[in-house]
Amino acid sequence: MTAAEKKLWYGYLRNHQFQFLRQRPIGNYIVDFYCPKLKLVIEIDGETHLSKEDREYDKERTRVLESYGLKVLRFWNDDVLNGIEVVSEMIENEIEKI
């Protein structure tokens, strides 16, 4: 796991009331975090996602995952590392909508 993934996992998701799984295969992809009960995928993106090609790949990946009936949330490493409280709140807000 990256530093941001560790921070989100150990600081928030590991003990969440809903069970989240790490590094789960879904179709042809491996997602960072997945909650089967909520059908929620959480992806943490870093520098390797900045190029135009990578952004297009991520967009297609999100489209495919959503076609499976999943909700995909994406956050940048810096957002998690420097504002875990805000990220956690955003995740909770999405969970309330499900």
pLDDT tens for residues 54-69? 889 999 999 999 999 9
Distance of CA 11 to the CA centre of its chain: 14
69 Cβ neighbours under 8 A, 6+ residues apart: 39
Is pTM, for the whole model, over 0.85?
A: yes
Across residues 65-74, what is the average pLDDT?
98
Please report which confidence band the pLDDT of residue 48 belongs to, taking 50, 70 and 90 as the band edges: low
Backbone angles phi, psi at 90, to 5 degrees: -65, -40
User: d(Cα 68, Cα 88) in Å, to the nearest integer?
Assistant: 24
State the Cα angle at 33 between 31 and 66, rounded to 5°.
Answer: 55
Percent of the chain with pLDDT over 70: 96
- How would you classify the pairing of strands 40-45 and 21-26? unpaired
Neighbouring C-beta atoms of residue 81, cutoff 10 Å: 17
Q: What is the distance between the alpha carbons of residues 65 and 86, in angstroms, rounded to a whole number?
A: 24
Q: In this prediction, what percent of the chain has a pLDDT beyond 90? A: 86
- pLDDT tens, residue by residue, 21-43: 999 999 999 999 999 999 999 99
